[in-house]
């Protein structure tokens, strides 16, 4: 039976464990990201009704497992998308970590499978495998990891991983295990994804490119008797008017110098991630061709690795662009914006009312003083409620 993605959409936010601020590529307007700030962002996302938060991974970030463990107890419904790293972790140890955190959060764990695409960073972490071999490790890792979490005793001998009598004494809260998310644009990545995970993720490419990728993944999955759902990773810049939104986009990179762009693009060029290569090709390191599709802006990718595009516009426009992705099969949106605390509120307040989310019961009504919307006028009269807020 087909699922109407317009009524089952999940929107996740982002915990900026690698830094936050008002502008990219500069210390101007930078913001200290400590535990209290991350807790603030998570609690805001929980209260506003986001389905979950992505916690990034890599040497530029605080450890995602420790952050999720520390923050989760301060939230009630929010789910945490945390990375497992094949090649960096034993699948058995990762399975115990997964089961433990899933139980401690009462089934609020989501798992992001990250294979890694920067050879320099990989070597610093002790991984010296080429691109194809890393995906071989990922397949072997997930074979063991999934079987353990699903309650099996595992005896496995592969090219890279060997396990004898592996088992879990304590199962995860979710059955048969927490859902797995996976992003990999290469043929090797897709080959692993269709056999092992539930959610295939893509970065924010133009809709036509995303549609082509989804079609390819579906075709491979169908040939193996499987089906996957799909998610997309995007930034958002939403303001009350399109003019304000595009000005905010320009302001986000107003301190980015040509030297900063060149240095960042040099780092990205050494990566063997096909997804990163596709992101970089969208703008080519140039400032003059950043709107790569209607309201899809590639300015973030001038200096940021990974997700490098943003939806830019007023609420009706951004909601319309989201529906375009929904129409081609995307049901999960992993979003972020700068600074992440303010933008979590801005996006939820301006765009959520225009979307049919799968978690309406997860939203706690926001009440300020005697509320419900806006400050009391002249100490005695409440402002009128707009139709979109009723």
Beta strands in the chain (DSSP E): 10-14, 20-21, 30-31, 52-54, 79-84, 109-113, 154-157, 162-166, 180-183, 199-203, 229-238, 291-293, 296-297, 310-313, 330-336
Beta bridge partners of 12: 52, 334
Instruction: List pLDDT tens digits, range 12-42.
Output: 999 999 999 999 999 999 999 999 999 999 9
Task: Please name the helix (run of DSSP H) or strand (run of DSSP E) that holds residue 321, with its range, or none.
Answer: helix 315-327
**pLDDT one-digit tens code per residue, 89-107:** 999 999 999 999 999 999 9
Can you tell me the distance from the alpha carbon of 216 to that of 209, in angstroms, rounded to the nearest whole number?
Answer: 11
* Total H helices, total E strands in the chain: 12, 15
Per-residue pLDDT band for 366 (boundaries 50, 70, 90) equals very low
For residues 114-119, give the mean pLDDT. Answer: 83
Q: What digits encode the pLDDT tens for the residues 262-309?
A: 898 888 888 877 777 787 777 777 888 899 999 999 999 998 888 899
Burial class (CB in 10 A: 0-12, 13-18, 19+), 21: buried
Quick one: average pLDDT of 132-159?
97
DSSP-based three-state secondary structure for 31: strand
pLDDT for res 297 = 97
pLDDT of residue 372: 47
Confidence band for 380, pLDDT divided at 50, 70 and 90: low
Is pTM, for the whole model, over 0.85? Answer: yes
Q: How far, in Å, are 4, 11, 205, 217 from residue 8 at the CA level?
A: 6, 10, 22, 20
SS3 for 113?
A: strand
How far apart (Å, rounded) are the C-alpha atoms in residues 13 and 7?
A: 19
pLDDT of residue 185: 85
Using an 8 Å Cβ cutoff, are 298 and 206 in contact? no
- 196-214 pLDDT, tens digit each: 999 999 999 999 999 999 9
> What average pLDDT does the segment 306-333 reach?
96
Domains recognised in the chain with CATH numbers? 10-389 (3.20.20.30)
More confident residue, 383 or 332: 332
């Amino acid at each position: 039976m087909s699922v109407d993605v317009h009524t089952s959409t999940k929107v996740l936010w982002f915990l900026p464990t690698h830094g936050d601020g008002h502008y990219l590529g500069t210390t101007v307007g930078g913001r200290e990201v400590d535990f209290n700030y991350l807790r603030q962002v998570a609690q805001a996302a929980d209260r506003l009704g986001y389905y979950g938060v992505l916690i990034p991974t890599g040497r530029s970030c605080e450890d995602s497992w420790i952050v999720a463990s520390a923050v989760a107890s301060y939230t009630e419904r929010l789910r945490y998308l945390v990375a497992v790293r094949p090649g960096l972790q034993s699948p058995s140890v990762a399975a115990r970590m997964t089961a433990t955190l899933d139980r401690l959060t009462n089934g609020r764990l989501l798992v992001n499978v990250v294979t890694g695409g920067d050879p320099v960073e990989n070597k610093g972490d002790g991984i010296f495998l080429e691109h194809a071999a890393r995906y071989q490790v990922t397949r072997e890792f997930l074979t063991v990891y999934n079987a353990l979490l699903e309650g099996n005793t595992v005896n496995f001998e592969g090219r890279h991983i060997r396990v004898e009598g592996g088992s879990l004494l304590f199962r995860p809260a979710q059955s048969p295990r927490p859902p797995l998310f996976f992003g990999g644009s290469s043929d090797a990545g897709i080959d692993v994804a269709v056999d092992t995970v539930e959610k295939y993720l893509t970065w924010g490419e133009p809709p036509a490119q995303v549609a082509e990728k989804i079609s390819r993944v579906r075709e491979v999955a169908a040939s193996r008797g499987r089906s996957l759902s799909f998610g997309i990773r995007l930034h958002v810049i939403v303001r009350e008017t399109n003019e304000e939104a595009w000005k905010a986009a320009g302001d986000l990179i107003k301190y980015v110098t040509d030297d900063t762009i060149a240095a960042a693009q040099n780092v990205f060029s050494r990566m063997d991630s096909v997804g990163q290569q596709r992101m970089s090709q969208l703008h080519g390191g140039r400032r003059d061709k950043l709107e790569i599709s209607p309201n899809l802006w590639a300015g973030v990718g001038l200096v940021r690795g990974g997700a490098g595009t943003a939806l830019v516009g007023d609420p009706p426009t951004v909601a319309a662009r989201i529906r375009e992705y929904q129409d081609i099969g995307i049901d999960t949106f992993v979003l972020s914006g700068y600074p992440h605390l303010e933008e979590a509120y801005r996006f939820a307040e301006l765009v959520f009312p225009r979307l049919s989310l799968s978690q309406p019961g997860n939203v706690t009504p926001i009440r300020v003083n005697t509320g419900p919307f806006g400050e009391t006028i002249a100490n005695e009269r409440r402002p009128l409620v707009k139709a979109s807020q009723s």
